[in-house]
A = this chain, B = another copy of it.
Amino acid sequence: MANLDLGTAHAEPNHSKIFGTADTAVCFEQLFADDVSLQRTLSALQRGPVRYYRDNIVVFEDDLEDYLLFVVSGVVRSCKTCKNGARNIVAFYLPGDLFGWTAARRSLSIEAATDVEVLFLKRDSLLSLASRDGRVASYLLSATTNELVRCQEHIMLMSKTAKCRVATFLRELWVRLGRAKYLEVPFSYQDIADYLGLTGETLSRSITELERSGLISRVAGRKLLLRNHFELRRLMR
C-alpha cells in the first residue's frame, strides 16, 4: 500500500476549478438509504473521500491490494501506458461506480480523468458484510456484472469502424451521464481516443463527419448536442 496514505489528498493545488459539482456527487451510504444502521456500518469501513486533480494518479499499477474504489464525483480512468508511449484506457468510472476487483492482479493504473473524489473501501470488510447482508451482496454482484457487461461491449466495439465506435461511445456516455439535454464530455478527446483504440486525429475526423451528417453538433468546446438519436443508434450496429 505504498502510496495510500488516506489522510492526505495527493492532488496538487495547481488547478482553480472547484471539485465535484453537487449534482454529480454520489454518496456511498446513500445507496442504502432505508437502513441507518447499515449506513453507519458502511461509513465505518470507508476512507475518504480523497480528492485528486485531473491527470493525477490515484493508484499506481498494482499497488491497490486490499481496497475497492468508489467514485463520488468526477471521472476515473483505468489505463496502461506502454513503453512506446501508446496508452490504452480500459474503462471510465463515473460517480456511483464501484470497482477494483481486478486491480490487485493487473498492472493497470487508476488515474483521475477529471478532478475527482474517491472513497477507498476495505475489500475484506465489504465482503464479510456482504455475507451477512444480502442487500450488500447483491449490490456487489450487480456492480461486478455491470462492469463485466461493459467490458464485453467494449470488446465488441473495438472491431467496428471508427465512426461507429465514436457514435456508440458518445451515446453511451450520454446515457451514463443521465441523458441530459447536452452531452458535456468531461475529459479530453485524447482519453476517448485511447479508450476507443483510435488516434486523436481519427476521433476528431469522425466527430466532424458525424456533425456533417447532422447526427450531432458542437455547441461549445466539448459540449455536444446529439441531434438524431435514431440515426446514431442505427450507426451503432
Interface residues, chain A, CB within 8 Å of chain B? 78, 80, 82-83, 86, 88, 90-91, 101-102, 105-106, 108, 127, 131, 134, 137, 141, 144-145, 147-149, 151-156, 158-159, 197, 237
Contact = CB atoms under 8 A, between A and B. Distances in A.
For this chain, the copies found in one complex come to 2
Given A105-B145, A148-B102, A80 B156 contact: yes
A151 B106 CA distance: 12
A148 B105 CA distance: 11
Contacts of A82: 237
A150 to B, nearest CB: 9
Contacts of A86: 159
A86 B156 CA distance: 11
A144 B148 contact: yes
Contacts of A83: 237
